[in-house]
Structure 1
């Protein structure tokens, strides 16, 4: 099984010659490039200008050499800990020509030539270059429309001038500097041209995701799902603007696919530099109305990403979204390959039922009804999983091969991640939705939370929703109906905009209305009871994520829980792995069972304290001497195994697919 790669393996991409073969079309303003599937007459791959549709040979200029002895940087899940869009190291390079080629491409002039070995291997902002300082040890291209200020900051830093070159305007004087500068007629146009040139070198499938809500979850789910069987790139950052899209194009190597999340800050522009094969529009909601005005304007703005598709591209659209007709009309102008998903009877991939308590889903695709489960809660996440299935359909993939990966995917931090923790000496279940909020997602999340935890006391901790425009107060007050339907026993609010909701709540539901996170942290622990379910949701700028982090950092006694592990790799059966991991579990005094699955993997159910289980998971990546493990996935489950540890007989297995 292949894995998601949010960064390069140690691969050195070197451009063997100038970009003469693609300069003319790019300089003349060709906005997009799409790799063709067929080789040219000479047998080399080609790229096609969307403007002219003329094939242009390009593979002859690219050579790839893998660094010997370099560590394998593949990871098993998406790393969300870094804010950096591109990690710059000497072991990961993706160059677009040398300094002379770059000047020819952009029609610019160097104030001084960079070092002979310099190549534009990463595209970063001046701010990120300064943040890294001496850690920048490979060739970086940056840009500045105010070179005097930027050069002053760079000169005062510990950044090595041998590694960094700047794109600057060709108007006005620039001081003499140790940092090479390429003077160009238009810095923004130059950034677009060099990004398009870098995109033209990528042979994999580019997928781009936009929408008012669900972008991050769908992007990560797609990367996780495709990464089950191919090398898949996804940015390591939650930033999703145009600058980040440009930067992440330079992170691409020889992956089979790449997933980009595109926000309002990336449009227009991202459609031209990404030239995606697949575009997903997740939903249109009352988000950022200060920028867009109306939801119809929002739909029109998000549809701009579809302009990057060529006639063979695939548009995946949530047909339930408000003003989906606007989105569909734009999609039809670009391509005939349109796949819709949602609850509507007309959806190509349709949600038939969703069970909040178990995550069980029944859906249909072109009339074929099927069932599966997901590790995320909420009907909105059930719809997000349909988006992934629709993409698989659009790419012509066998859905059955990817369903286990969809089932294994867990919620993204701040977007539905569920944690068991102890707060004030009481064990509670926390649902973290603190990263984003708008009226549509707030209502859906509150009501879904109420259904999911109907068997226990429910607590809502809600913060202001930002950027809603002049009707913000009314939109906050309108949440009262959703709160009532959720059955929440107590509601705690934070922020001035939540005053209207506070006024609309029943007295019995009112917990407290605060204006700061510190006030909430002081009050909430005393209000919680054992086994409470707590939902925390707000716009990120409200800062409610601090509540989640503060509680997560509290030391707490561990309660035994049950875990399901699935081990995959080219050699995990027939090499003694099942017996070995059973013995390891017994040695750690865990209860459970282990079995070989019919799909070549090893599955186990275990019960014990988290630290003990995690120690076993760490050991499971190695196994006995002849084992070869690619991946170990784990998930907390409610099933409690029998006392002791046993080896579950393979002959009792009847399923060909597991919904773990």
Structure 2
């Protein structure tokens, strides 16, 4: 018989709380009544709304008990602070599964996709656990730990930040055997007086909790590689590098994007590899090298690693491709609407330029956020990689993208609007069969609304509605 994830006695022991009501057991942990499942533990966190207000909904949705700091209906474990109790529950989950090899992933770009690709490899090798969605902050990391089954063999955790000293406690919570930094760039720089260097040092905090003899996996092509390697060595980690250099442990030799996939030539510790993946973005070249090294560090075979990479599909808003059918034919939509920064923009444009197309290359962009006082300059600088990619038309939305709009030659200007919602009909009206269209921007600037408007043009959705 399968053991429950937690019994109320175990929750009491882990958190120092007190049982109120009948004893209970749970198979999951939730902080959101909208996604509650049968026999979950509902954690009543303080937030914009007090989580205790939602306990009746959680119980109605199937929660078996509650972690609470106030009197509530039903069975509960009472604690002084529910967030601190969640952290203790996460640490208890780690301690009761000493056999689990743990990896942690951070970086300015690509950490969610890389984490999920690693998870796909772990799942081929045995009982695996990982972050879901982008659960990578001071709530998401302990929640992911608290959800880790006691028989987990391998796990990977995404760890994010937007200010200094945020990753350190999370790394110490996870205690990774391998820690990966995808890259460092001008993301969240508005929170750092020393700019990108401050971001690099904040990312290096992922080594704060690394297990003795652990592995640090670093991007040798990134300008902060030496700084990060030095911090990793200080933490007692062994450095493994990925990039385009011959001295890299995982060397990317060639990346050739095609329709819906890419061919990769690489060398892993000098051994030649040749495989394909279901991704077209050039950033997936180094991402794939990083995934191979992380899976190796977590004791996954090379065969399983390559098979996982080859089957891993793009996540929603992170490069997924759709054929949108118009009356006279289809255009290809590349949906990169989940997030954006100068690094990912340049990689996306390079990928677009490398693709063969019988139509036009069209780009729809919304503002990149959290770039500090240099934000207008970062946006204007996108004109150069767009030119190198041979973009035919560029559509822009938002006050920051106005800087790019002004920097574009008139022949490349497709349309400008103050908001994504206002841009959507402009680009929708311009679509023609054969076009290759990329939508990219920060989630907060609503790039997703533009992608959704383009998908809605599909005549099949009209026929079936």
Specify the TM-score bucket, using the shorter chain as the normaliser: 0.7 to 0.9
Q: Report how far residue 438 of structure 1 moved.
A: 0.4
Q: Secondary structure at the match of 1:529?
A: coil
Note if 1:252 corresponds to 2:148. yes
Is the contact between residue 5 and residue 27 of structure 2 (CA under 8 Å) also seen in structure 1? yes
What's the counterpart of residue 201 of structure 2?
300
Which among 322, 326, 330 is matched to residue 231 of structure 2?
A: 330
What's the counterpart of residue 316 of structure 1?
217
Rounded to whole Å, the distance in 1 between the matches of 2:30 and 2:294 is: 31
Note if 1:291 corresponds to 2:197. no
Q: Report how far residue 416 of structure 1 moved.
A: 1.0
Which among 5, 8, 14 is matched to residue 98 of structure 1?
A: 8
Superposition map of 1:112-127 within 5 A: 113-119=19-25, 122-125=28-31
Q: Report how far residue 313 of structure 1 moved.
A: 1.9
Q: Secondary structure at the match of 1:286?
A: coil
Superposition map of 1:43-442 within 5 A: 65-66=1-2, 93-95=4-6, 98-99=8-9, 102-103=11-12, 105-108=14-17, 110=18, 113-119=19-25, 122-125=28-31, 128-129=32-33, 131=34, 137-138=38-39, 140=41, 142-144=43-45, 150-151=51-52, 153-154=53-54, 157=57, 159=59, 163-168=64-69, 180=76, 182-184=78-80, 188-202=83-97, 203-253=99-149, 254-264=151-161, 267-293=167-193, 294-357=195-258, 359-423=262-326, 425-442=328-345
Q: For each residue in 1:340-372, what CA deviation from the matched residue of structure 2 results, as whole angstroms up to 9, or x when unmatched? A: 101133321111222234722221122222222
Is the contact between residue 349 and residue 386 of structure 2 (CA under 8 Å) also seen in structure 1? yes
Unmatched runs of 5 consecutive residues or more in structure 2: none
What's the counterpart of residue 642 of structure 1?
none
Q: Report how far residue 157 of structure 1 moved.
A: 4.7
Q: Report how far residue 261 of structure 1 moved.
A: 1.5
Q: For each residue in 1:492-545, what CA deviation from the matched residue of structure 2 results, as whole angstroms up to 9, or x when unmatched? A: 111110111111101100111112333223222332222010011100111121
What's the counterpart of residue 402 of structure 2?
499
Q: For each residue in 1:92-141, what CA deviation from the matched residue of structure 2 results, as whole angstroms up to 9, or x when unmatched? A: x311x534x64555445x4xx3334224654443xx14x46xx6642525
Q: Report how far residue 249 of structure 1 moved.
A: 1.9
Is the contact between residue 115 and residue 162 of structure 1 (CA under 8 Å) also seen in structure 2? no
Q: Report how far residue 431 of structure 1 moved.
A: 0.8
Which among 418, 432, 450 is matched to residue 529 of structure 1?
A: 432
Unmatched runs of 5 consecutive residues or more in structure 1: 1-64, 68-92, 169-173, 559-610, 612-660
Q: Report how far residue 457 of structure 1 moved.
A: 1.6
Shift in CA distance, 309/527, structure 1 to aligned 2, threshold 3 Å: same
Q: Secondary structure at the match of 1:264?
A: coil
Shift in CA distance, 338/526, structure 1 to aligned 2, threshold 3 Å: same
Note if 1:448 corresponds to 2:348. no
Rounded to whole Å, the distance in 1 between the matches of 2:264 and 2:71 is: 63
Rounded to whole Å, the distance in 2 between the matches of 1:141 and 1:315 is: 35
Shift in CA distance, 390/156, structure 1 to aligned 2, threshold 3 Å: closer
Is the contact between residue 136 and residue 163 of structure 1 (CA under 8 Å) also seen in structure 2? no
Is the contact between residue 29 and residue 147 of structure 2 (CA under 8 Å) also seen in structure 1? no
Q: Report how far residue 232 of structure 1 moved.
A: 2.4
Rounded to whole Å, the distance in 1 between the matches of 2:21 and 2:127 is: 33
Rounded to whole Å, the distance in 2 between the matches of 1:149 and 1:427 is: 48
Note if 1:552 corresponds to 2:455. yes
Q: Report how far residue 322 of structure 1 moved.
A: 2.8
Shift in CA distance, 107/373, structure 1 to aligned 2, threshold 3 Å: closer
Q: Secondary structure at the match of 2:136?
A: coil
Rounded to whole Å, the distance in 2 between the matches of 1:434 and 1:176 is: 41
Is the contact between residue 205 and residue 256 of structure 1 (CA under 8 Å) also seen in structure 2? yes
Is the contact between residue 232 and residue 258 of structure 1 (CA under 8 Å) also seen in structure 2? yes
Q: For each residue in 1:220-240, what CA deviation from the matched residue of structure 2 results, as whole angstroms up to 9, or x when unmatched? A: 211222323433223332332
Q: Secondary structure at the match of 2:283?
A: helix
Is the contact between residue 340 and residue 348 of structure 1 (CA under 8 Å) also seen in structure 2? yes
Is the contact between residue 372 and residue 403 of structure 1 (CA under 8 Å) also seen in structure 2? yes
Rounded to whole Å, the distance in 2 between the matches of 1:461 and 1:176 is: 49
Rounded to whole Å, the distance in 2 between the matches of 1:228 and 1:487 is: 40
Rounded to whole Å, the distance in 2 between the matches of 1:385 and 1:275 is: 24
Rounded to whole Å, the distance in 2 between the matches of 1:176 and 1:405 is: 45
Q: For each residue in 1:579-635, what CA deviation from the matched residue of structure 2 results, as whole angstroms up to 9, or x when unmatched? A: xxxxxxxxxxxxxxxxxxxxxxxxxxxxxxxx9xxxxxxxxxxxxxxxxxxxxxxxx
Is the contact between residue 121 and residue 250 of structure 1 (CA under 8 Å) also seen in structure 2? no
Rounded to whole Å, the distance in 2 between the matches of 1:273 and 1:286 is: 27
Q: For each residue in 1:427-453, what CA deviation from the matched residue of structure 2 results, as whole angstroms up to 9, or x when unmatched? A: 101111100100111112112211223
Shift in CA distance, 500/187, structure 1 to aligned 2, threshold 3 Å: same
Structure 1 or 2: more helix by fraction: 2
